Structure 1
């Protein structure tokens, strides 16, 4: 073979091996990389578990409590609490929108700040949902409302950027609090004309509210918190105002909220338990998952659970299997493909249906319509469940921010309150969940369970295509869901 032919042959061979490396080796490397990311996401910063009195607070003193299962009622209760504040208001949210609900809340906060009430707002900086930009924060600061951002790490810091505070709380004067699944946005308070959430919060009046405030202080002072002034952004960005004069429609809505008669019943809880994760990245800081696991292991008869997502990995599935082996009836209400925009979580659930065929386990998918019997007319044609709550053995309830997914278990900071031995509250939660289940389809369990067909019924072709497209790799990416 001549030198030139030899050179060409070697070049062709190198090219062939290069192409093989690209088309075969690269996918393998990506797969191994994702496995590494998955493992690292569950073991990041693994070390001694930090502790603080504010992350686990239990009181046997009487607390006045109520479930806020109606969005408009929850907003009206928030507005009343803010107006009643005398000394301090603390708020922490994953999402703080710039819309009608947020304008009403923000204007109320500014009024209280002008009256001398100390008002502080902590908002997560998750870029896909972040709206309270620095120029809004500057306007709030000028009105006397202190604003901070949680975790401004960019995507270049992959592990750090995936840790978020998913906590949602409002505390007034260290005495009264609302915690639960709702962020500050129209779709959490039945005001969106496109899509609304069926959610749930708990109103608390009693000593545990002071502990919730202490947990806010812990987060506010953490190294993960940034002053908006330190985030590079223009102070003259265009956009809707948060503190401008209310429109005629907003003024009418504010008046309706002020007149709104409560749609919740008060009761007394004599065993109130608040649990939250420690701020910062690392599985050793996650406390809520461990407490929920303990409650599940203590159950003897039945557990009812509501979560917008149902993404199970081996540890979560093991908990369900242990519950089923003890003969405990377990009902889980989650979203159908039609009632959620999170098609990727539905893809993960669809991949898990065979593993969920356990004794006495039922999985229900919400149909997507407004809940029947609502006092106010439906503002949107489509609804989805967003509550994160459970009831154990007809007497103990949990309301919080924890979704049944790996992100809540391993990455996010979450919180919850547990009320033990309050049958009235448990019955109230069960009744509301049964109303939602009545407008749902059985996916797993029971004679009429429809499996995948029940899960995807009524979804449009575009959403079905996206779910099917991601399904083959959903299990690989479940640690981020």
Structure 2
């Protein structure tokens, strides 16, 4: 009998593995006495005094925050009013967060999958601490697998102020951090628990205005990385829908899976051993960039120009969120997946779907098969990553495997993002890829280990310290999609390219139906989103908003930014046999080594005869486009070969990818 990826190990095996975990990873939790002692240590260390004695916690005036008051004042029970702001540009998304955090008067609730300790992450963290110290209640909820990487940081936050509380969602093994060996062993003993991650992302200010969407808290989500940044999208919503956001956050915060960070074994033992450590001062990689970001946030005119000027009023807004610990066995759909299904099935003319990972679950495939069977099916436009742009080449391999199905059976028009898009909403100046003079900055100091070459012991100790520092500076899951790390951070890094440059990868998750409904959220339209990850989204039934969102996706699929995926030209001989063998090979879960794939990438070539891009089903398509290969821009090497291998062997990984 075959075993599916979701079948748990036998009870005996799980017990043995659990014992091994406790011995190897020190996974024993805190005793009740230790927990009480930790609470006493933290309680004594937490300051209760604030820097402000005003009722508004010395909140800074904010036109963004004022939108919430306007929305509530203009709303009636039957006709709610909201103000929305699409945040396409990473620097604007960071600016909006900082502005709103500084404007908070009573409460800040932040829920996220990734919270890094790089420049952007520390910038936001320091702002949260500042808000707590001036009298705002701050609650920070992070998923375990990609929470702050240093146990010392988490221990410091446990005692930084009485107004700041930090919890970790679903801490497998009862720890804040798990190592690679612990991760592998946890997968063997606690497979389903390990896979149930909190992918929901929300920043809620005073229960009245929120930001949700694809972005985590890490440099590459805010155009702050010198090598690779995400093309992502958030949505700010001010008005009554914020109450639903608050209700959702409360469910997560009060769920048994959300554990105070000081009650986790590794953090708690550090507190018992050393007390509450001081939070080290931030040491940004690029201090000038941080100073510039703070200056922009302090300038009301710049906030008005970059954010307020683009605010759009809408009516009803739905916030759809999966419950904590969602369980979708027995064929059930979660609230987020069910909402997406209903919206897509309601399409009449066009569906625009943007996802970084085109790996569809069986329920999603059923939806698109149903659309395709209609007498006049809607056009389905898909914006996704190419192998050259993605940070998850294993996921791309599964998308590559099923191109024939997507194009022929479902009728998709697929556009894959280029790694160096010419017209992407990115602020080059904030990335660090160029200096103030327009040239690349000076290289960073070498990390070469310095030691006393006359002493083998000193050299060994120096190298050991360097290895420990390197491990502390990374985490098992460097990217959001890296459910499987395969032993190294490099496994989930982008593939090598034929030329150097500042690369971008798509991370936005959005949907537009008939330019009447727009959706911005966290769901990747993939099996993990259906089965394991908790997801959330904002649904707005407003033509003006839908057109704005559609225009944003249209920009991403323009020829300057994406390749078109279309069928290859038929071979001169045996074309029918070639197609049939390729189709049969695609159905195999393993050994899909057929070298000729159904589709390939095409580049638009403008000319007087081809003034504008065309869809792949236009009769003149091949007059205006030329094939550029299966993996354009990619340097042939190990990951290209691995992509082929996972195409052949990786179909069984779809549920966990």
> Normalising by structure 1, what TM-score?
0.83
**What is the CA-CA distance between 1:226 and the residue it aligns to?**
1.3
Residue 563 of structure 2 aligns with which residue? 441
Partner residue in 2 for 1:55: none
Moved more, 345-354 or 283-292: 283-292
Counterpart in the other structure of 2:258:
225
Is 1:255–2:303 an aligned residue pair?
Answer: no
Structure 1 segment 73-472 matched on structure 2, within 5 A: 73-126=92-145, 129-144=146-161, 145-154=164-173, 155=186, 156-233=189-266, 234=270, 243-244=281-282, 248-249=287-288, 250-259=290-299, 260-261=302-303, 262-264=305-307, 265-283=310-328, 284=332, 286-326=334-374, 327-356=377-406, 357-358=408-409, 360-372=411-423, 374=425, 376-377=427-428, 379=431, 381-420=502-541, 422-438=542-558, 439-444=561-566, 445-446=616-617, 447=621, 456-460=631-635, 461-472=637-648
Change (3 A) 1:469 1:440: same
Deviation at 1:286, TM superposition (A): 1.9
CA-CA distance at 1:104 after TM superposition: 0.9
Which structure would you say has the larger RCO, counting Cα contacts within 8 Å and 6 or more residues apart? 1
Please identify, of 167-176 and 269-278, the stretch whose mean Cα deviation from structure 2 is larger.
269-278
Asked if structure 2 preserves the Cα contact closer than 8 Å seen for 1:197 and 1:384, the reply is yes
1:37 aligns with 2:4: no
Change in Cα spacing, 1:245 to 1:308, as seen in structure 2 (3 Å) is closer
Cα distance in 2, alignment partners of residues 329 and 242 from structure 1: 54
The residue aligned with 1:66 is 85
For residues 329-369 of structure 1, the C-alpha deviation after alignment (integer angstroms, 9 at most, x for no partner) is 11010000110121111111111112112465201110111
Q: Distance in 1 between matches of 2:148 and 2:254?
A: 22
SS of the equivalent of 2:7 reads: helix
Cα separation, partners in 2 of 1:188 and 1:222, compared to 1, 3 Å: same
TM-aligned CA deviation for residue 193 of structure 1: 0.7
Gap runs ≥5 in structure 2: 11-76, 174-185, 434-501, 567-615
What does the per-residue CA deviation read over 1:177-204, in whole Å, with 9 as the maximum and x for residues that have no partner? 0000000011000111110001111111
Separation in 1 of the partners of 2:521 and 2:384?
15
Secondary structure of the structure 2 residue equivalent to 1:456: coil
> Contact conserved, 2:333 with 2:530, CA < 8 A, in 1?
no
Bigger fraction of residues in strand = 1
Q: How far apart, CA to CA, are the structure 1 residues paired with 2:232 and 2:652?
A: 29
Q: Which region of structure 1 is more displaced relative to structure 2, 411-420 or 310-319?
A: 310-319
In structure 2, relative to structure 1, the CA distance for the partners of 1:281 and 1:203 (3 Å cut) is closer
For residue 428 of structure 2, give the secondary structure of its aligned residue in structure 1: coil
- Structure 2 distance, partners of 1:370, 1:103, is 29
Distance in 2, matches of 1:181 and 1:391, equals 16
- TM-score relative to the length of structure 2: 0.62
Whole-Å Cα distance in 2 between the matches of residues 105 and 386 of structure 1?
20
Contact 1:181 1:401 in 2 (8 A): yes
Decide whether the 8 Å contact of 1:107 with 1:242 is kept in 2.
Answer: no
C-alpha displacement at 1:136, in angstroms? Answer: 1.5
Kindly indicate whether the alpha-carbon contact (under 8 Å) linking 1:120 and 1:146 is maintained by their aligned counterparts in 2: yes
- Rounded to whole Å, the distance in 2 between the matches of 1:59 and 1:242 is 51
Deviation at 1:210, TM superposition (A): 1.6
Question: What is the DSSP-based 3-state SS (H/G/I as helix, E as strand, rest coil) of the residue aligned with 1:222?
Answer: coil
Structure 1 distance, partners of 2:334, 2:398, is 23
Q: Number of residues paired by the alignment?
A: 430
Conserved in 2, the CA contact under 8 Å of 1:98 and 1:240?
no
How far did residue 82 of structure 1 move? 0.2
In 1: Cα distance, 2:363 partner to 2:8 partner: 14
Distance 1:192 1:59 in 2: 45
Structure 2 SS opposite 1:37: coil
Counterparts in 2 of 1:297 and 1:60: CA distance versus 1, 3 Å: farther
Return 369-378 or 211-220, whichever deviates more: 369-378
- Kindly state the Cα deviation for residue 451 of structure 1 after the two structures are TM-superposed: 12
Deviation at 1:213, TM superposition (A): 1.1
* Contact map agreement 2:352 2:511 (CA 8 A) in 1: yes
> Does structure 2 conserve the Cα–Cα contact (< 8 Å) formed by 1:363 and 1:443?
yes
CA offset at residue 456 of structure 1? 2.1
Distance 1:160-1:92 versus aligned 2 partners, 3 A rule = same
Alpha-carbon shift at residue 267 of structure 1 (Å)? 1.2
Structure 1 regions of 5+ residues with no counterpart?
1-28, 41-57
Report the secondary structure of 1:193's partner residue.
coil
- Give per-residue Cα distances to partners, 1:274-326, cap 9 Å, x unaligned: 11111114115721000100001111111111100110233211111222333
Contact kept? 1:94, 1:168, Cα under 8 Å? yes
Superposed CA RMSD: 2.8
